[in-house]
């Protein structure tokens, strides 16, 4: 099937983003992928295909009816997560999964097991696409790209399905929080859009975390340890004290649903200086603001104990909960997706995103943009997999949204 062939071709192209480069796009491989994608869109017959200097790809499927309807957009991101290598991806197809362990890599004894990932058992009898255990797969979000492109190809081949104007947008650097940085909402020209960047079949999301990054810098004072009494300030020890002052169970490994957290993502240091990198997340805006204030409060306590200037805090808001822009004025966009899912036999699973998407920022930029499932599971690691039937249903949902919008 063209959908699967397209997806397998996409994931073999390295598009890993890199937060350390300060380039746009952050890696040259994303621009190479964007060039190939833009050419493919032209070849299948889409119009107004554009590729800008920042690797944003846009295209149009013109309306095939005189009926005036809202312009819909479909959006997916081209980059894969820096959390694990996306180079030399070698996907493998498991036919008619039998519910047993899947050996991803016999040599390295890497196994995808339902004991560790019980969600596998939901897909018994289905064909799955997995990794070879040495890289991530890249279904996040090349599945979304493949589903959107194949849906447009289907609509071009079936003019009896009437639809309004459809705009496509493919972005770089979503995985490092920059996917919407250079997205031209005005040029995109859609009334509303959907990102296909969700997980398992049926997921539909119009609310996400409010998000901020936090960096705590600790200045120490190093003297010979044999003569350190009442003189040394060990920055590593002070940093450890700061970590212990935050609520122990308000971390990712202890939270779910609407529960927010503080997540220590990196720490490094010496006696002289230490740094702690955090991300702060909460769906509720008031609790989110309180979490940021708590970080500052704890920095102040460190300074009271060890001297002013010992600890400094740098906070940066990253994105906000799109629900504030969707509910109540744009709930018709969500309802359209619900109706399309039900029409193709998919039960909608409306749930909050415990993360963010390009759609969150785009919603605040004036483009209401809920998130629809792309079908993959266990993103960002070697145990990532995607059921082929879920991909087909995601494609069908895109087609049905276009069709219902024209009715």
Question: How far apart (Å, rounded) are the C-alpha atoms in residues 6 and 21?
Answer: 29
Task: Tell me how far apart the alpha carbons of residues 73 and 191 are, in angstroms, rounded to a whole number.
Answer: 8
Question: What span, in angstroms and rounded, lies between the C-alpha atoms of 102 and 180?
Answer: 37
Opening angle at CA 177, ends 206 and 295, nearest 5: 90
User: What DSSP designation does 122 have?
Assistant: G
* Residues in CB range of 53: below 8 A, 6 or more apart: none
The answer for residues whose C-beta is within 8 angstroms of residue 71's C-beta and 6 or more apart is: 164, 165, 166, 167, 189, 190, 191
Within a 13 Å sphere around the CA of 196, how many CA atoms are in the beta-carbon half? 35
Secondary structure class of 331 (helix, strand, coil)? helix
DSSP letter string, 369-382: --EEE---BSTTST
Is 79 labeled as catalytic in the residue annotation? yes
Closest CA to 282 of 391, 227, 207, 228: 207
- Active-site residue, selected from the candidate residues 141, 174, 358, 396: 174
Q: Is the peptide bond before 6 cis (omega within 30 degrees of 0)?
A: no
Which of 245, 354, 347, 342 is closest to 296 using CA atoms? 245
Q: Is 194 helix (H, G, I), strand (E, B) or coil?
A: strand
| CB-CB contact of 142 with 40 (8 Å) | no
Catalytic residue among 40, 79, 141, 207: 79
Asked if 101 is an active-site residue, the reply is no
Residues assigned a catalytic role: 79, 174
């Amino acid at each position: 099937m063209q959908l699967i062939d397209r997806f397998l071709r996409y994931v073999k192209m390295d598009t890993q983003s890199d937060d350390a480069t300060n380039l746009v796009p952050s890696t040259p491989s994303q621009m190479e992928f964007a060039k190939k994608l833009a050419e493919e869109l032209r070849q299948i017959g889409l119009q107004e295909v554009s590729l800008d200097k920042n690797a944003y790809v846009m295209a149009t499927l013109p309306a095939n009816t005189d009926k005036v309807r809202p312009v819909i957009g479909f959006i997916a991101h081209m980059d894969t997560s820096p959390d694990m290598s996306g180079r030399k991806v070698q996907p493998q197809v498991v036919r008619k999964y039998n519910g047993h362990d899947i050996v991803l890599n016999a040599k390295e004894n890497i196994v995808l097991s339902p004991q560790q990932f019980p969600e596998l058992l939901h897909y018994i009898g289905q064909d799955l696409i997995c990794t070879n255990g040495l890289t991530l797969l890249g279904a996040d979000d090349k599945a979304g790209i493949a589903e959107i492109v194949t849906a447009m190809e289907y609509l071009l081949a079936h003019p009896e399905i009437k639809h309004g104007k459809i705009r496509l947008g493919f972005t770089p650097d979503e995985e490092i929080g920059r996917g919407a940085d250079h997205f031209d909402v005005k040029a995109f020209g859609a009334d509303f859009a959907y990102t296909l960047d969700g997980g398992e079949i049926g997921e539909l999301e119009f609310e996400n975390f409010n998000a901020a990054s936090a960096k705590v810098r600790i200045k120490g004072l190093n003297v010979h340890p044999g003569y350190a009494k009442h003189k040394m300030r060990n920055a590593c020890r002070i940093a450890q004290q700061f970590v212990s002052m935050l609520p122990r169970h308000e971390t990712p490994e202890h939270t779910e649903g609407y529960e927010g957290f503080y997540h220590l993502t990196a720490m490094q240091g010496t006696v002289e200086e230490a740094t702690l990198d955090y991300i702060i997340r909460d769906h509720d805006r008031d609790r989110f603001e309180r979490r940021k204030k708590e970080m500052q409060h704890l920095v102040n306590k460190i300074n009271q104990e060890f001297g002013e200037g010992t600890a400094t805090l740098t906070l940066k808001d990253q994105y906000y909960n799109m629900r504030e822009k969707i509910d109540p004025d744009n709930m018709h966009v969500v309802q359209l997706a619900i109706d399309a899912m039900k029409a193709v036999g998919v039960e909608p699973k409306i749930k909050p995103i415990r993360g963010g998407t390009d759609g969150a920022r785009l919603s605040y930029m004036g483009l209401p943009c809920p998130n629809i499932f792309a079908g993959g599971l266990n993103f960002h690691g070697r145990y990532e997999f995607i059921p082929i039937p879920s991909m087909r249903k995601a494609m069908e949902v895109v087609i049905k949204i276009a069709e219902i919008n024209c009715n």
